[in-house]
Structure 1
Amino acid sequence: MDPRREYELLQTRRHFFGRTATGIGGAALASLLSPQAFAAPSSSPEKAGILGEPHFAPKAKRVVYLFMSGAPSQMDLFDYKPEMDEWFDKDLPDSIRQGQRLTTMTSGQKRFPIAPSKFKFAQHGQSGAWVSELMPHTASIADDLCFVKSVHTEAINHDPAITYIQTGDQRPGRPSMGAWLSYGLGTMNRDLPAFVVLHSTWTGRRSAQALYERLWGTGFLPSRHAGVSLRSQGDPVLFLSNPPGVDQSARRQMLDALATLNERTYEQIGDPEINTRIAQYEMAYRMQSSVPELMDFSDESKDTLEMYGPEVSTPGTFSANCLLARRLLERNVRFVQIFIRGWDQHGSLPKDITNQCRDVDQGQAALVKDLKQRGLLEDTLVIWGGEFGRTIYCQGGLTRENYGRDHHPRCFTMWMAGGGIKPGITYGKTDEFSYNVVENPVHIHDLNATILHNLGIDHKRLTYRFQGRDFRLTDVHGNIVHDILA
């Protein structure tokens, strides 16, 4: 290439501003390496988000999202339908199904026999919320929870459905909710990521839908806003420890030299991802001290450990991750997401869902109790749910004791607690077959708009221009569900 032409191509608008006397590029870099020097006197975070401050006073500062990948069966857990006992093995009426879309797994069935839940239900707390016998610990916190029984979506298969509820679109490529919050609000702890992801082991059916990094990725947002996955074995973050023969001083010298080289490259081409790379190196350096302390449960009281249950001492279990989530939240990590797979129960549902509930019940209840007794629940939003629900009709063979259920996007149950959500209420209603929403429908865009609202964000105003269009988490949809706000 002609050297003169190559030089002209390097002179991008970003490059021009990066090299002007104002030193925008250098200042951005310096603020990453020495945030205290560039922070406002009253500011403690490493870096504020693009909003600078929330649009209005937030009710929640932090979020912990307990995601039940695979879709829990709402009528076996929270959506009690006792009248279905009389419908055992009778076909779901066409007037209820209304020709709605089915998966290929049941679209060829000649019959759609109704499978009543085999599990007992009881009302709990002053709120009288119906909870299955499968979740006795969760039942004990019923008055702290808001059950939303009318959530619905258009996606009917796992991957597009999980992508949809996490990113606002069924197609890959959009930023995840945690990435949007990191981008919009920034971080409250300079020594830990703003967005942390925890993956849990489970004891139900061994095969399960895969979870892809895009579910906690940034899409078109700067990559520094991606969720950081903490591992339960070995280094919590890969390559966090110094390699053999490299001490902390040598590591510091290496990072300083890398920063100098990257700064020179930034001055040449102005790629913002270079600053992201520098910031991530610096974060990893600080995490060498913060993460080992975070992962050490030895300072937890005996009562706290017993509250989370016997599995809390086994890294990677849901209970251990719930306690780890509380430790992250009290260190002001903005968004913590706990995934647990295995809820995709097309057959042998009673056996598998019993195991799944045993995995999560005590830990999730303990997390809410723990946050509450530490004064953190008031400004921490807890979210529980999956990507869609399950059908009242059986997939495959049916007996009173054994059945399976197919995917069902038309209605499912989620619950929320803390962070500006009204406690002790049940919102929304389904028909007697738990098949259609008949009262107060809540689309997943409405759910996400409400979550952002509680964090002080107008969901219509947190946007990012990409390929000539302003994108947002809720796309062009979403209404705040004011009735569930405290």
Structure 2
Amino acid sequence: MNPADEFNLLQTRRAFLGRGAMGLGSIAMGALLNASEQTASATGALPSLPHIAPKAKRVIYLFQSGGPSQIDLFDYKPGLAKHFGEEVPTSVYPAERKTTMTSGQKSFPVAPSVFKFAQHGQSGTWLSENLPHLSKVVDDICVIKSMHTEAINHDPAATLCQTGSVIAGRPSMGAWVNYGLGSDNANLPAFVALTSNGSAKAGQPLYDRLWGAGFLPGRFQGVKFRSQGDPILDLYNPDGVTRPQRRRMLDSIQKLNQQSADHFNDPAIATRIAQYELAYRMQMSVPELIDFKSESKAVLDLYGPEATQVGKYAYNCLLARRLAERGVRFIQLYHRGWDAHNNAQKQVPAQCRDTDQPTAALLSDLKQRGMLDDTLVVWGGEFGRTIYCQGKLTDKVYGRDHHPSCFTYWMAGGGIRGGMTYGETDDYSVNVVENPVHVHDLQATILRQLGIDHERLTYRYQGRDFRLTDVHGKIVKQIVAS
């Protein structure tokens, strides 16, 4: 938020009296709250939360940036083989729904998946041969085949998935959860973001606003762990600087910052004070967090050969479990490289080789530790891929463009019914024909599992009460365990 705008918001009779009653020592925290915000509890949670009994304590969101191909992974359409190379009917896929990248094509031939599918688990869930590890834990997941969105390009689609709006600047889901529920561990951030790149393709850019706080106070934003070297810069004190010396230095800085906060009433200063204190505590907690020496060989083997390679997807999955163990509320993984505009036969298997084993390992590891029941794991990207071929179609090569009208997510743990498939698409995997789930519906359901009524978690900004789901969102009750 613009500091001047928030300063004006804070100049109310209620805010003035509140600051006067609490004393100067509370100004730093008071400046973080706008006039309509309730005072948080000792853990940082709003006193009105949870609204309902939570099924999950934390969320691990495995965001697959670029748009995984539902037709090559989850949405089995054996009948399309006989239509290879035929034009997709315009009645099914009209021209106005195609992106500018393929709208100029003269032909839109059907490109059936070349990958074999089989049913797995007691649930008989259909999965592609690219997901051999996930097939072993398929009875723990709920596959949602009927996801849909309005956004057709990467940045607005990813922004919608992460913030509830295609317009940049809104708070991310993790920031909303942090704002509402606070932290379970004062020595670690409540919201952590991790990034990794696919080995086959660099992928789309990931902007800090995807895990930002938007117009919420800055202290609710996600803390991004770096994908190389130390996860946090300046994690260790310089040579010759002891921890008591660091404490004295921070105390002196805090006094100066407090003087500025008393004078200017700038929320950014209060955020900076809180960040300095968290950073000091993290200097003790993070080194232990990232030290995998305590992990058994069996656990490391479970996640695969890249489990100890900083910045790899497998490493981030294992780190996510360790963060979850230590009370981090919202853990956001971003894995890039799913944007298969050409040669999907090569790119999709490559992405799965990077992600399938670690993803399944995370579910197994959480379950073995008794944590899956109260940890909600979410997997999916910003949209799906087209059934028609982008570019020239051969029996060996096809590409797929962006497709927002239907795509697949899955969820596991945290009170979600495992071993089920929800929703259905048409014969061409173009349109949802049964139980549609919008991005806002998914967000409402995630919040519900955390004990949050998505319509009641709001923040007043520029004269309006905002929420993650805007004016939309319905809980997908059929996938929630009783």
Match of 2:286 among 291, 294, 297: 291
User: Cα distance 1:31–1:293, how it changes in 2: closer, same or farther (>3 A)?
Assistant: farther
Does the 8 Å CA contact 1:308/1:366 hold for their aligned counterparts? yes
Match of 1:117 among 113, 133, 141: 113
* Aligned residue number for residue 184 of structure 1: 180
- The within-5 A match list for 1:18-417 is 20=20, 22-27=21-26, 29=28, 47-206=43-202, 208-417=203-412
For 2:89 and 2:454, how far apart are their aligned partners in 1? 39
Does the 8 Å CA contact 1:25/1:266 hold for their aligned counterparts? no
User: Cα distance 1:60–1:25, how it changes in 2: closer, same or farther (>3 A)?
Assistant: farther
Per-residue displacement from partner, 1:43-95 (whole Å, max 9, x unpaired)?
9x953223453001100010000010000000100000011100100000011
For 1:383 and 1:25, how far apart are their aligned partners in 2? 43
For 2:461 and 2:388, how far apart are their aligned partners in 1? 43
For 2:389 and 2:105, how far apart are their aligned partners in 1? 10
Aligned partner of residue 227 in structure 2, secondary structure: coil
The alpha carbon displacement at 1:233 in A equals 2.4
Aligned partner of residue 336 in structure 1, secondary structure: strand
Tell me how many residue pairs correspond in the alignment: 464
Does the 8 Å CA contact 1:18/1:270 hold for their aligned counterparts? no
Q: CA RMSD in A?
A: 1.9
The alpha carbon displacement at 1:186 in A equals 0.4
For 1:222 and 1:242, how far apart are their aligned partners in 2? 28
User: Cα distance 1:31–1:307, how it changes in 2: closer, same or farther (>3 A)?
Assistant: farther
Letter in 1 for 2:333: I
Does the 8 Å CA contact 2:66/2:336 hold for their aligned counterparts? yes
Aligned partner of residue 285 in structure 2, secondary structure: helix
Aligned partner of residue 193 in structure 2, secondary structure: strand
For 1:412 and 1:151, how far apart are their aligned partners in 2? 5
For 2:231 and 2:152, how far apart are their aligned partners in 1? 34
For 1:462 and 1:435, how far apart are their aligned partners in 2? 34
The alpha carbon displacement at 1:334 in A equals 0.2
For 1:233 and 1:437, how far apart are their aligned partners in 2? 41
User: Cα distance 1:155–1:19, how it changes in 2: closer, same or farther (>3 A)?
Assistant: closer
Aligned partner of residue 97 in structure 1, secondary structure: coil
The alpha carbon displacement at 1:245 in A equals 3.7
- The within-5 A match list for 1:1-16 is 12-13=11-12, 16=16
* Aligned residue number for residue 420 of structure 1: 415
Does the 8 Å CA contact 1:429/1:438 hold for their aligned counterparts? yes
Does the 8 Å CA contact 2:95/2:103 hold for their aligned counterparts? no
The alpha carbon displacement at 1:442 in A equals 0.3
Does the 8 Å CA contact 1:155/1:170 hold for their aligned counterparts? yes
Does the 8 Å CA contact 1:46/1:189 hold for their aligned counterparts? no
Does the 8 Å CA contact 1:383/1:417 hold for their aligned counterparts? yes
* Aligned residue number for residue 5 of structure 1: none
For 1:251 and 1:378, how far apart are their aligned partners in 2? 40
For 1:461 and 1:73, how far apart are their aligned partners in 2? 35
Mark the runs of 5 or more structure 2 residues left unpaired by the alignment: 1-7, 32-39
Letter in 1 for 2:204: Q
For 2:397 and 2:223, how far apart are their aligned partners in 1? 39
TM-score w.r.t. length of structure 2:
0.93
Letter in 1 for 2:73: L
Aligned partner of residue 151 in structure 1, secondary structure: strand
Q: Which moved more, 1:45-54 or 1:249-258?
A: 45-54
TM-score w.r.t. length of structure 1:
0.92
Per-residue displacement from partner, 1:257-290 (whole Å, max 9, x unpaired)?
1111122222222223222111110000000010
The alpha carbon displacement at 1:303 in A equals 1.0
For 1:98 and 1:378, how far apart are their aligned partners in 2? 43
User: Cα distance 1:123–1:26, how it changes in 2: closer, same or farther (>3 A)?
Assistant: same
Fraction of identical pairs, as percent: 61
For 1:442 and 1:279, how far apart are their aligned partners in 2? 38
Answering whether residue 454 of structure 2 is matched by residue 455 of structure 1, we say: no
The alpha carbon displacement at 1:97 in A equals 1.1
* Aligned residue number for residue 38 of structure 1: none
* Aligned residue number for residue 37 of structure 1: none
Answering whether residue 458 of structure 2 is matched by residue 474 of structure 1, we say: no
Per-residue displacement from partner, 1:167-203 (whole Å, max 9, x unpaired)?
0110101000000000011001100000001111321
Does the 8 Å CA contact 1:19/1:267 hold for their aligned counterparts? no
Aligned partner of residue 97 in structure 2, secondary structure: coil
